[in-house]
Amino acid sequence: MKKMLFRKLLVDYLSFFLIALLASSIVVWVFQAVNYLDIMIEDGRDYTIYINYSLLNFPKILSRLYPFVLFFSIFHITSKFEYNNELLILWNFGVNKIELINFIFRFSLILMIVQIIFSSLIIPKSQDLARSFLRSSTVNFFGNFIKPQRFNDTIKDVTIYSERKDNEGNLFNLYLKKQIDQNNFQITYAKKGVFKEFNNIPVLVLFDGATITGKNDEITNFSFSKSDFPLNNFSSNTTTYKKTQELSSFKLLKCLQLLNSKKKVDEKKIENCSKENLQNIYKELYKRFLIPFYIPLLVLIPFLLVLSSKENANYSKLKTITFLIGLFFIIFSETTIKLISTTYLKNFVISLMPFLLLIFLYLIFFKKTNFSHSIK
């Protein structure tokens, strides 16, 4: 009978949590997708890149909302059970409060493992794939991102300024600067510019203008009635290199091993693997493997409510305090990431925090319940 009651309890908790997590993640994803759309249009990217990039960011949104939605779900369902006297059924069937807490703790360990899998495997892979779409794509829809009376620097090493732009995307009185290298440049003025495509190659056709070229401290200029400016070899200023959070957990651990052993690191094999980036590597590993250990703590905090009864005069106050404690530890767990450094002792102490807090919470449960019935 106890197993059946625990199973029903688990289904109620899990179903509400999954629905709440999916619903809230979709809402956040939609708002973020709209933001990505604006960025992609300004960046001149194809819509397929936008769709793939935004979809691949969905796992990251799920993971970010996971702790808060989990805590809120457990808190809400536990409050509902207490309010409807449903927990009395458990107590009447001889279930001890600490026995329920132990069952929920085992359940929280599974949720913690799920979060570790997400943060250490799924998210780095999805973020890397999202970045790879940007790396492999080219800048398209050039006419879309050119805004009149504004310096447009979306294209790498090229700045375009246009006084006016008509409904067909034609540019008037435009200035174009191309930075060839650190010392060499090219500045072009034209009365009109039209975006064309020849053999699938985007070209900005310029009319009635002049080009000034600075090369090796020499300045040359020439006038033209028509000149083609090919755009196929240019890339976007959008970051396309791998960031630390996009590296696989295996690569991060391998990098850490190489840096600690003071061996030479081949950055072609492991990107961002340098002593200058060591703190970020520690932070990323902490975020992936140790932040999830706050999950059992967040799951158990709402069960402070079962230590009292709704008939108690201070129950409403306890409910508010319990909710605030949960919110505090959600914020606290995220804040600890900033405290991670390259100092081993400091990192070790910070890493111990979720375990020490969990032990402290269990001591409260043991003190407030009948310990003699805790192990069954």
Q: Residue 373: what pLDDT? A: 46
**Is residue 92 in a domain?**
yes
Q: Do 86 and 78 touch, CB atoms closer than 8 A?
A: no
Whether 262 and 303 share a structural domain? yes
Q: Would you state the structure tokens that stand for residue 167, as one six-digit string?
A: 């409904």
Residue 137: what pLDDT?
59
Q: Point out the domain boundary residue: 230, 252, 280.
A: 230
**Residue 241 identity (one-letter amino acid):** Y
Q: Which residues of 265-286 are buried (b: 16+ CB within 10 A; e: fewer)?
A: eeeeebbbbeeeebebbbbbbb
Q: Residue 308: exposed, middle, or buried by beta-carbon count in 10 A (0-12, 13-18, 19+)?
A: middle
Q: Are residues 124 and 150 in the same domain?
A: no
Tokens of 23: 């619903």
Structural domains of the chain, count: 2
First CA to last CA distance, the chain: 15
What is the side-by-side strand order in the sheet with 218-230? 158-165, 171-179, 185-198, 201-215, 218-230
User: For 171, phi and psi rounded to 5 degrees?
Assistant: -105, 145
Last residue within a domain, chosen from 180, 196, 230: 230
User: What pLDDT score was predicted for residue 375?
Assistant: 43
pTM of the model: 0.78
Q: In whole angstroms, what is the distance from residue 99 CA to residue 94 CA?
A: 10
CA 182: distance to chain centroid? 35
Locate 307 and state its tokens: 């230590």
Q: Same structural domain for residues 273 and 129?
A: yes
User: Does residue 237 belong to any structural domain of this protein?
Assistant: no
Domain range for 155: 142-230
- If asked whether residues 262 and 246 sit together in one domain, one would say yes
- CA dist 341 and 286 (Å) reads 11
Distance CA 357, CA 200 (A): 61
- Residue 217: φ, ψ to 5°: 65, 15
Judge if 217 and 248 occupy the same domain: no
Q: Are residues 17 and 74 in the same domain?
A: yes
Cα-Cα-Cα-Cα torsion 337, 341, 347, 349, nearest 10 degrees, comes to -80
- 310 and 254 housed in the same domain: yes
Q: Burial letters for 315-340: b for 16+ Cβ neighbours within 10 Å, e otherwise?
A: eeebbeebbebbbebbeebeebeeeb
Q: Is residue 19 part of a domain?
A: yes
For residues 18 and 123, membership in a common domain is answered with yes
In sequence order, what are the beta bridge partners of 198? 201
Do 200 and 98 sit in the same domain of this protein? no
Per-residue pLDDT of the chain (376 residues; tens, 9 = 90+): 778 888 989 999 999 999 999 999 999 999 888 877 666 655 556 677 778 888 999 999 999 999 999 999 999 999 999 888 888 888 888 888 899 999 999 999 999 999 999 999 999 999 988 887 766 655 555 556 677 888 877 677 788 899 998 877 788 999 988 887 877 888 999 999 988 877 777 788 999 999 998 887 788 888 999 998 887 666 665 555 678 898 999 999 998 888 888 777 766 677 888 888 899 999 999 999 999 999 999 999 999 999 888 888 888 999 999 999 999 999 999 999 999 998 999 999 999 999 999 999 999 999 888 643 444 4
The pLDDT value given to residue 240? 53
